[in-house]
Amino acid sequence: MSHDTVLSRETRTVVSPSNVVVGAGAVEEVGDYASLYGTTALLVATERIFDVHGDVVLETLDEQGIETVVYTDVRPDPTVENIEEAYESWEEHDCDIVVTLGGGSSIDTGKGVGILAGNGGEIRDFGVDKAGYEGVPNPTPPLLAVNTTAGTGSEATRSVVVSDESTATKFLIVSKNVVPDVAIEDPELTVSLPRSHTAFTGIDALTHAIEAYVSVNSYGIPDGFAVEAMRRIARSLPVAWADGENLDARADMLVGQLQAGQAFTNSSVALVHGLARPLGAQLHIPHGLANALILPYVADFSAMAAPEKYATVARILGAADEDDDTRTAADRAADGILRLCDDLDLTGYLDDFGEVPAREEYLDVIEEMTQDAIDSGSPANNPRKPTAEEIRELYVEIYDDALAPDGRRRS
């Protein structure tokens, strides 16, 4: 008997939020869903997002008789301390529901609270480097994720990314037990997203889709999510960036980033994310911007190992035609990614959203970043398996071409 696909050889469990509420006005249903699960909610958000959207969430919860405790000290890259502090509020007020308001940082903080509430212990102990994949044994309490970015896709995933400031690293937690119960996708909430973060989160979503699609763990179901996500993001991210009030583009991006989240949580991320976490931690670069700096080089490095899939990426991004042969098209995927990054002026944000060191200082931490990337496990999911030396070379290329003030992409 021949085995042509993963599903002909083994079973896979497809995870996704139990309910996805999508469209203008979706936020008004938060209270209705919360009332199905409990009576006291911990609302987790950054202070800025809470100031913009907090009142509408509090109002819909109050209308359903839900008492709400607010935690607004979430950092852009949530830390161990963020999660521990939010969990203290959860315990002190005897909460039974987590509601997150924001993007990946708020959602990951809420997931972290849920992990501690359902399992106890220290949040660091659940990282994949210590507990492995599916290392959260007990389900979290009910979690409702009100998304305000497009996006990390965190409202659809079994992943949590946490910064450990004591070691200047980020660690990953992966478990189906952290997938939110309800995802609220309201495009009106994303209109307030500044142009910079529209670009960062949009490229993050594109990276999720591409990596899920080319991963060695890919198969038919997440492949379908990934291809549709890439199509939506390619057509709507430039529009949403250029005109943040275009609700059609904002809605299309919300759906695209959700599909990208569904893709990678049921497949995997790969080398880009393996490189991005250490780079972001060392240079204090937002995760989406780190992905944008890395993605073209990894596509160029990897295309030979998955030519048919990278050819599809190139065609979706408009860098290749159907008439181009597979390998020619695959080799143009990096060009399509670079063009989109240039359109969004992504390297132009480095002055305001990064701490780029001198080249010698950067070279001093490459060995540490390389080991952190390998330890994450993500590079092993890449279609072309990198050696430690190849990872070092990629980090040097990224600096010289994209990070350096006189680099080609910055100049």
Distance CA 271, CA 302 (A): 9
Report whether 297 contacts 270 (CB < 8 A).
Answer: no
Tens of pLDDT, residue by residue over 226-262, are 999 999 999 999 999 999 999 999 999 999 999 999 9
User: What CA–CA distance (Å, rounded) separates 202 from 234?
Assistant: 10
Instruction: Report phi then psi at 23, rounded to 5.
Output: 125, 165
Q: Is the pLDDT of residue 48 over 90?
A: yes
Predicted pLDDT of residue 6: 78
Which has the minimum average pLDDT: 93-102, 162-171, 321-330, 401-410?
A: 162-171
Q: Looking at residue 22, what is its pLDDT?
A: 96
Of 209, 214, 408, 407, give the one whose Cα is nearest residue 308.
214
pLDDT average, residue stretch 265-280: 95
Domains and CATH numbers, the chain: 19-190 (3.40.50.1970), 195-403 (1.20.1090.10)
Residue 1 pLDDT exceeds 50: no
Q: Check whether 267 has a pLDDT greater than 60.
A: yes
pLDDT band at 102 (very low <50, low <70, confident <90, very high): very high
Separation CA 88–CA 83 (nearest Å): 9
What pLDDT was estimated at residue 411? 77
pLDDT at 261: 96
Average pLDDT, rounded, for the chain: 95
d(CA 120, CA 175): 15
Cβ pair 136, 175 in contact under 8 A: yes
Q: What is the mean predicted confidence (pLDDT) over 187-209?
A: 96
CA angle 347–108–286, rounded 5-degree value: 10
The Cα-based distances of 361 to 92, 283, 365, 366 in angstroms read 44, 11, 7, 9
Span 355-364, mean pLDDT? Answer: 96
CA-nearest of 357, 352, 365, 376 to 162 is 376
Per-residue confidence (pLDDT) for residue 42, from 0 to 100: 98
CA angle 59, 65, 71 (to 5 degrees): 60
pLDDT at residue 168 greater than cutoff 80: no
pLDDT-based confidence at residue 8 (cuts at 50, 70, 90): confident
For residue 191, pLDDT beyond 90? yes
pLDDT digits (tens, 9 = 90+) for 105-143: 999 999 999 999 999 999 999 998 899 989 999 999 999
Distance CA 22, CA 190 (A): 13
pLDDT of 3 reads 43
Mean pLDDT, residues 346-366 taken together: 95
Share of the chain above pLDDT 70, in %: 99
The amino acid at 39: T
**pLDDT above 60 (res 4):** no
